[in-house]
Amino acid sequence: YVGGVGALGAEAALTGGGTAWVFTDGRVIKGTWWHPDRTKPAQLLDSSRHRIALTPGPTWVELPDISYGVGITP
């Protein structure tokens, strides 16, 4: 985070890539996100490297601290 984690007005520097858990249409898809350039849209890819299509409507992105444990309850 530019400005520091939790700081008022901090901005996430969303370039690079990593693990992504995409919750869409009642499913969870584990894949990767890739965003090498802020001027282009990020890519969400499944384990077969196919694009993950999002369900139309609002999209939420959660960026927890890397020390925060994340789990999924069916």
User: Which tokens belong to 22?
Assistant: 């995409």
Q: What is the pLDDT of residues 6-59, one digit of tens each?
A: 778 777 777 899 989 999 998 999 999 999 988 888 999 999 999 999 999 998
Q: What is the structure's pLDDT at 61? A: 82
Contacts of 32 (CB under 8 A, 6+ apart): 17, 18, 19, 20, 44, 45
Q: What is the structure's pLDDT at 43? A: 94
Nearest to 65 by CA among 7, 2, 6: 6
pTM of the model: 0.70
